Structure 1
Amino acid sequence: MTTPAIPLDVKADEHRHEHRQRVLKGGAIITGLQNSEISCTVRNQHESGAELRVAPDARVPDRFLLYIPVDGIAYRSEVRWRRNDRIGVKFNGTEGKPKLHYG
């Protein structure tokens, strides 16, 4: 007897310890290079991580500061996975609003 194939996204969900709440928030990926920003959309989020959507040609580093203006919080983030225009990140702490951010 063979086991039915399970889509990759379902397998990834089995390893999650927390359910991610679906959200639609604007965000800014702030890199260490002269405070440059990459616009993104936060698609789902929980206290230890999030899924982001970025432009397909965006060059997102492995570690960055994710600022979400509506929350007023900057999350120290580490990339856990990448798929096309989606990035899964783990939060490693928080900071206040970055001084040089416009929002």
Structure 2
Amino acid sequence: MTTERRKTPRQRTLLGGRIVFNQRRSTLDCVVRNFSDAGALVLLSDSVALPVAFDLEIDHRQSSYGARVRWRDGERIGLSFADHAGAGNEVIPLDIARRLKHCEQNNAQLKARIAQLTQAG
């Protein structure tokens, strides 16, 4: 029998998730197989390269979590959430994360338009 090393028990799940990185410009779909307040186990194609830190969005929970890769074994990836790793981050509601992404895109478009108008003038 193996000894449980986690500080918080994980609950088995079968939830669709999305890994978001590269300033919210890159996303990868994944399956969340277990979940706790401190971390999760996700399944993702083993050929996909991931950054060490990213956001994990779970539509069913309508939340986004700052996550770090703790281990990887093929398609299985163990994550810890940033707020439990000492980073002080809080869970961000998914609607707010989406609004933030939309605002960042609008900001980039406005900056490009300002640069265009400045060069034309």
Same fold (TM over 0.5): yes
Matched, 1:60 2:57: no
User: Residue 38 of structure 1 contacts residue 58 of structure 1 at CA under 8 Å; is this kept in 2?
Assistant: no
Mapped to 1, the partners of 2:60 and 2:4 lie a distance apart of 30
TM-score by length of 2: 0.68
Mapped to 2, the partners of 1:39 and 1:57 lie a distance apart of 14
Paired residue total: 91
Identity of aligned residues (%): 33
> Cα offset for 1:32?
1.7
Q: Which consecutive unaligned segments of at least 5 residues does structure 1 have?
A: 1-5
Q: Which has the higher helix share?
A: 2
> 1:61-86: CA deviations, max 9, x gaps?
10000000010000000111111101
TM-score by length of 1: 0.79
Counterpart position of 1:30: 20
SS in 2 for 1:14: coil
Counterpart position of 1:51: 41
Mapped to 2, the partners of 1:96 and 1:71 lie a distance apart of 9
- Name the amino acid aligned to 1:63: A
SS in 2 for 1:70: helix
Aligned match for 1:96, one of 93, 98, 104: 93
Higher Cα Rg, which structure = 2
> Cα offset for 1:34?
5.5
Q: Which consecutive unaligned segments of at least 5 residues does structure 2 have?
A: 83-89, 103-121
Moved over 4 A (4+): none
